[in-house]
Amino acid sequence: MKLAEFMDDAYQGLTRGRRLETRQGDTIFSLEDLADRVGTKPSRNAVEVLVPRDMSTLIRLIDSDPGKTYRLLWGYLSSIAAERSPEPLHLPARDYAGLELSSGTIILDEARDHVAVDHVGERMKGGRILVRLGAGDYLGQEMSGGGIIAGSVGDYAFQNMRGGFGVVQGDSGNSLGLGNNGGKIICRGSCGERAGWLMHSGSLRVGGEAGDYLGLLMSGGKIVVAGRTGKRAGWRMKGGTIMANGFGPEAADGVLGLD
């Protein structure tokens, strides 16, 4: 037998440059084992095919620390576990928790060393996520359904949101609701600069004050601020509505004061 034929037989027809397909039902022992089979940046479908039906095994995988290498895998697993759980799933706060979540409830407990975690609820389609304390950057990025409640958030929360709702109990960083095309955001505290930047539709309500460039280049949607805004609110806006209790210098024509 020629060497090429021998290798083809050993790899069952797969080329040597590709990963061997894993048969459904094979045991996944660790996140590293899963990464060996699907890589560290797979699609959710690729992960879900290999996830064991046994809930105890799935929880064991989630209990392991993913570090930075396997955090996407851990994020998918957290969502799959929540969707299968009949009760809210309590998890340690980690990056990408609830990645592409479609149902169920995730409650994120206090993060280790009080470090805010990023990308929580990214691309979620349904379900609920409760972040007991503060979240980091990119909370709810590209979400299209479901709901997230967090104590506070960093920058770029609910960026490119298309549906669902987000509630921030405290303050928000910069660029809240950047590029939104739907959904509802409530920030009960104050927000930083460029909230509602490039907003197309949806609604944003701020209970405190808003930083500079609120609604920068927005083309639709509604922004309501209970307090005052910084400078240049509504600058170069093409559509939509901005209402506030007071505006800083150089506010655009058409912004409205609250009664």
Joined tokens for residue 4: 């090429």
Pairing outcome for strands 222-228 and 128-134: unpaired
> Does residue 247 surpass a pLDDT of 50?
yes
Q: What is the mean pLDDT of residues 163-177?
A: 98
The predicted model scores a pTM of 0.87
pLDDT digits over 46-98, tens only? Answer: 999 998 888 888 999 999 999 999 999 999 999 999 999 999 999 999 999 99
Quote the DSSP letter at residue 112.
Answer: G
**Residue from 97, 93, 140, 137 nearest 114 by CA:** 93
Joined tokens for residue 130: 């409760």
Q: Which residues of 65-95 are buried (b: 16+ CB within 10 A; e: fewer)?
A: ebeeebbbbbbbbbbbbbbebeeebebebbb
CA–CA dist 146, 203 (Å, integer): 16
CA–CA dist 35, 226 (Å, integer): 48
Listed range (43-57, 82-96, 134-148, 209-223) with the worst mean pLDDT: 43-57
CA–CA dist 16, 232 (Å, integer): 59
